[in-house]
C-alpha cells in the first residue's frame, strides 16, 4: 500500500481545525487537562533518552 502524503496532510489539517474549534469553545481547563496527558507523557519519554549534548547538537546540524 502506498502512503499518500497529501491525503495524510489533509486529514491532519482536518483534525487541527476540529481541535482548534474545541479549544475555542470549551473552558481552558477542559482542553488543557487533555493536552497535559499528551505533553507530560512526551516529557517523561524524553527524560529516558540518554543523549550527549554534542550528539544532539550534531543531529540538529549545529556543530
Partner 1 sequence: MQFTGKRTIKLDKVKTELDSFLMDFIRILEKHTKYVIISGYVSILFGRTRGTEDIDVIIERMDKAKFGAMHSELKKSGFYCLNADELDDIYEQLSEKTAVRFAKKGQVIPNIELKFAKTPLDNETLRENLTVLMPFGKLIISQIEQQIAFKRHVLKSDKDLEDARHLENVFKDFIDKRKIENYRKMIA
In the numeric block, which cell numbers belong to residue 17? Answer: 481545525
From the number of C-beta atoms within 10 Å of its C-beta (0-12, 13-18, 19+), residue 31 rates as middle
Residues forming the site for partner 1 (CB under 8 A): 9, 12-13, 16-17, 19-21, 23-24, 27-29, 31-36, 38-40, 42-44, 46-47, 49, 51-53, 56-57, 62
In the numeric block, which cell numbers belong to residue 13? Answer: 489539517
- Least distance (Å) between residue 4 CB and partner 1: 14
Comparing CB distances to partner 1, the nearer of 4 and 51 is 51
Comparing CB distances to partner 1, the nearer of 4 and 40 is 40
3-state secondary structure of 4: coil
Amino acid at each position: 500500500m502506498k502512503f499518500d502524503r497529501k491525503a495524510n496532510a489533509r486529514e491532519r489539517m482536518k483534525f487541527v481545525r476540529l481541535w482548534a474549534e474545541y479549544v475555542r469553545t470549551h473552558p481552558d481547563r477542559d482542553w488543557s487537562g487533555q493536552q497535559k496527558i499528551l505533553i507530560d507523557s512526551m516529557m517523561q519519554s524524553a527524560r529516558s533518552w540518554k543523549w550527549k549534548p554534542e550528539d544532539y547538537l550534531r543531529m540538529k546540524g549545529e556543530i
